[in-house]
Structure 1
Amino acid sequence: MSHVHEIVEFRVDLARGVPGEAGEYARVKVAAIAKYSPADIGYAKVRLSTDGSRLLVAHASLDVNGTQVNAEATAATYQEAVDLLHDKLQHQLVNLGR
């Protein structure tokens, strides 16, 4: 049976104007990618901010056993931005494990 990896330390930062529920949504979605990691994730930092008045930017920085994994996504809503961020991180972690 393989080990299920986890995120040891997790931080979510919200810029002014980003709703509080966006932070919890990001936490749940990004935590779900730990299962694709080849090792425990020492820390994960997610920042949600706005780019002008219409777009939301989601940025993540992960430390996977000393390797930095970064991704960014922009969309009209925080849900869309975080979903895109999730997909990008998942892809990078799968490739890292190869």
Structure 2
Amino acid sequence: MGHVHEIVNIQTDLATGIPGEAGDYARLKVAAVGKYSPADIHWAKIRLSSDGPRRVVAHASLDVNGTPVNAEAAAETYHEAVDQLHERLRHQLVELGR
């Protein structure tokens, strides 16, 4: 992999009750998948919400040079949900580059 593709525009949307640091963590983890992308990622949108009292849902949409890449994960904590989201995005970007 020669060129590392950065994600310049990352937007986060946090549902009521999701702490601000969850958004910061999600931005860091989603930005980190840029190195697996086969092309420039024009923007990323991340939404963190809750699905019941003990479940956090993390959803991301990326625009990889015009190709949409979407992933979602749910877990008991925002760390776990975002970590799973990161892995799903990484996998999709690696597959996209094959």
Shared fold, TM over 0.5: yes
User: Would you say 1:4 and 2:4 are equivalent positions?
Assistant: yes
Describe the SS at the equivalent of 2:90.
helix
Moved runs in structure 1, 4+ residues, more than 4 A?
none
Q: Is contact 1:61–1:68 with CA below 8 Å preserved after alignment?
A: yes
| Distance of 1:6 and 1:13 partners within structure 2 | 20
Q: Is contact 1:41–1:65 with CA below 8 Å preserved after alignment?
A: yes
Identity %: 72
1:56 corresponds in structure 2 to: 56
What TM-score, normalized to structure 2? 0.97
1:41 corresponds in structure 2 to: 41
**Structure 1 position 8, deviation (Å):** 2.4
1:84 corresponds in structure 2 to: 84
| Distance of 1:11 and 1:63 partners within structure 2 | 12
Aligned length: 98
**Structure 1 position 9, deviation (Å):** 1.1
Q: CA RMSD in A?
A: 0.9
